[in-house]
Chains A and B, each alone.
Chain A
Amino acid sequence: MATTVKTDLDRIQAVLHDGGVIWTRSELLRWYNDGYGGLLADSQAVRRFLMFDVPPRSVSAGTYEWEKSYAGGTFRKFTKTALAGTQEVTGEWEVETSESVTPTNSANAVTHLWEQAVLAQTIDDHYRFFLPKSHERVVRVAWNDKRIFGISSKELDQTGSRWWQESGEPEFWLLGLDRDMSFEIFEIEASYFQSFSIQGDDFGVARLFSGDRSYGTESTYFANDYAYTNAGDTGSWSTGLGWRFTREASDTDRSNCVFIWEEQMAEGATTFTDSGTICTYAWEYEFVSGAAVVSFAVGMVRVINSPDRQYLPMAYDTGELPQLGTTREFKSSKDAISVLETIIHTREIEEDDAPALIPEKLQKYLRYYVLATAFGRQGEGQNLEMSKHYMGRFDQGAMFLKTLGNLTAHDRNYARGTSPILHRSMPRRPRLPAEYPAFGDY
């Protein structure tokens, strides 16, 4: 069981000799969160894969920048700012019209970028992917598992074309021209791909996946705690996993039948289906030949296996036992952009949580951060020397976690002579002078 924040705060208060009078508990918790974010950001040791379906999706799209504050999640402003910021327009021709200039034809505008796949026409906007709040830095970007390379908008601009509209196999990625926490790719994949469509997740857990792959389930839970006949039996006098061994007929009494022929009889049938033995407990099937084994595939998915690919769980949250949580999202790197990124925690941790994105043994450095901040705060209890000392200890922790981030550090020979080649130049494209006659213009 992981050490919770509560335990750490108790230990901090023991050093401060304060039960919350000088330094309140909420103040300590806030600093604990600050230290946690600082440790993760400084060390860059927590890395996760993040997949993006194409075309890019955002949680919301809005007309004005201020809408982002109320939208939540990733946000795309789909409008173009015009008339010295007094108007937001959708098409380029509107810019001309609003300034009383004769408009020229312009490309379509879309609210969400995925719409361009439905539209099947060029749009005059950049193909941008929006990164979540937890994102810190991009380590690697890949398309279809193949690495794509970094480039700048300046290099692409030199091609003299509307490069953001060119479709093809993505080969480059760039920070591009929009807000921070987003990036774009070149060339763009205009087709629509969605790796998984999660169905039946109304209750918080995905129950069914769509797709062209076949899935089977296996459960290691093979025993029921009790067996019952009708809905009235559940939860009244038995606990644990119950199994209803009857079948409900559609007659007016809604009879509960053991065998299928009983059900057919209750429903007024004249021909009947033979039935094998029906047992009440799973273990009974061991002793009854010909009886179908009952599978109790209850609970949540814990492991997904395939000999062809790996289903890798990526924990972003920081609960007490994050690996035991529920899978909320399924993604694939096939026909998708995958980003290896460094992250920080996504939400403020509470006293019952544990900072599970760092090794438990490094939680002491978070205590040092809180103590450094507490002793450094103005007012009663201020002790700057203590503050400086504890901050030094925290910095040591950040350095140590950074070292841990490179797991192979102690098994490497760093005396290599050559570095891997990880840049790729743009293929040269001829650029003709502006006055050069266009095709067909003789």
Chain B
Amino acid sequence: MKRSEIRTRIAEAIDDKDSIFFTSAQINLSIDEAMELFAERTKSIRRSAYVSLRPGATFYFTASIAQDIMFPYRIWNQANNQRLIATSINELDSHSTTWLDTSGDPRNWFAVSWDFFGVYPHAAAGGGVMRVDYVAWPLELQDDDDEPELPEGSTDVPFLHGLYEGELKQWDIQSASLVFALLTKAMGESEARTGMSRVQERSFQRMALNFPSEGVGRGNYR
């Protein structure tokens, strides 16, 4: 659904077809904000970015990797084809007292602040790239023909959010609360249909995948 269509629906729903009380610009902002809420709740917007391994650098600001990054969910060292294992400063401190001075191919990553993280060990020389897969904030819609990055079944989210903000602008808290409950429910349902939940064929209880040579499978009579 295009932004202009969503805006029309919102304006009609709050009985303000000419957008006098709730202006078009305000509704546009409300639609963008609905997208942010949706992304915060469902973590469904995913992107990838690449960053070079900087010599001597342990810490990386997320803003230096991508402007729309919310948080990384996977970091891959392209140089040696290894996924960096998430760990913590506490674990590294218990592992080694001089871990900050250790250099080599990064094997772990750890959180420091919402806006930067670290890798261990840090690269001694440049010449490698990390792929950072991350959950992203949504892009603002560019024009009236632009469509929100939503599953088609969740296009009611920006509409409900606009309606909710319209009711709040009228200080009608009863109606706003009612719509907010609907919005929360819609986002919950969307969360159940997006991201990992979209995959229905998986069994999360199964054992790790092993090859016969690893001791599990036909012909293993031990």
Please list the residues of chain A having a beta carbon within 8 angstroms of any beta carbon in chain B: 11, 14-15, 45-48, 139-140, 145-147, 305-310, 312, 323, 333, 340, 358-359, 361, 364, 383, 385-386, 389, 400-401, 404-412, 420-422
Q: Which bucket holds chain B's interface residue count?
A: 35 or more
CB pairs A–B below 8 angstroms (21 shown): A11-B26, A15-B168, A46-B115, A47-B113, A140-B89, A140-B93, A146-B97, A147-B93, A306-B55, A307-B124, A310-B54, A359-B114, A361-B137, A383-B171, A386-B173, A389-B180, A404-B71, A405-B111, A409-B111, A411-B72, A420-B95
Which of B11-19, B57-65, B145-153, B197-205 touches A?
Answer: B57-65
Chain B residue with Cβ nearest A309? B56
Q: Which residues of A contact B10 (CB under 8 A)?
A: none
CB–CB A310/B122 < 8 A? yes
CB–CB A47/B29 < 8 A? no
Q: How far is the CB of A41 from chain B (nearest CB, A)?
A: 14
CB–CB B112/A15 < 8 A? no
Chain A residue with Cβ nearest B35? A361
Q: Which residues of A contact B50 (CB under 8 A)?
A: none
CB–CB A46/B114 < 8 A? yes
Chain B residue with Cβ nearest A412? B86
Q: How far is the CB of A309 from chain B (nearest CB, A)?
A: 5
Chain B residue with Cβ nearest A338? B100
CB–CB B97/A409 < 8 A? no
Q: Is the interface of B mostly helix, strand, loop or mixed?
A: mixed
Q: How far is the CB of B144 from chain A (nearest CB, A)?
A: 21
CB–CB A408/B88 < 8 A? yes
Q: Considering the chains assembled together, what is the distance between the CA atoms of A220 and B131 in angstroms?
A: 27
Q: How far is the CB of A266 from chain B (nearest CB, A)?
A: 48
Q: Considering the chains assembled together, what is the distance between the CA atoms of A404 and B136 in angstroms?
A: 12
> Among the interface residues A15, A46, A323, which one has the most CB atoms of the partner chain B within 10 A?
A15
Q: How far is the CB of A199 from chain B (nearest CB, A)?
A: 25
Q: How far is the CB of A404 from chain B (nearest CB, A)?
A: 4
Q: Which residues of A contact B109 (CB under 8 A)?
A: 408, 411
Q: How far is the CB of A139 from chain B (nearest CB, A)?
A: 8
What 3 A-B pairs have minimum CB-CB distances, sorted nearest first? A420-B94, A47-B113, A408-B86
Chain B residue with Cβ nearest A364? B33
CB–CB A422/B93 < 8 A? yes
CB–CB A389/B111 < 8 A? no
Q: Which residues of A contact B40 (CB under 8 A)?
A: 361, 400
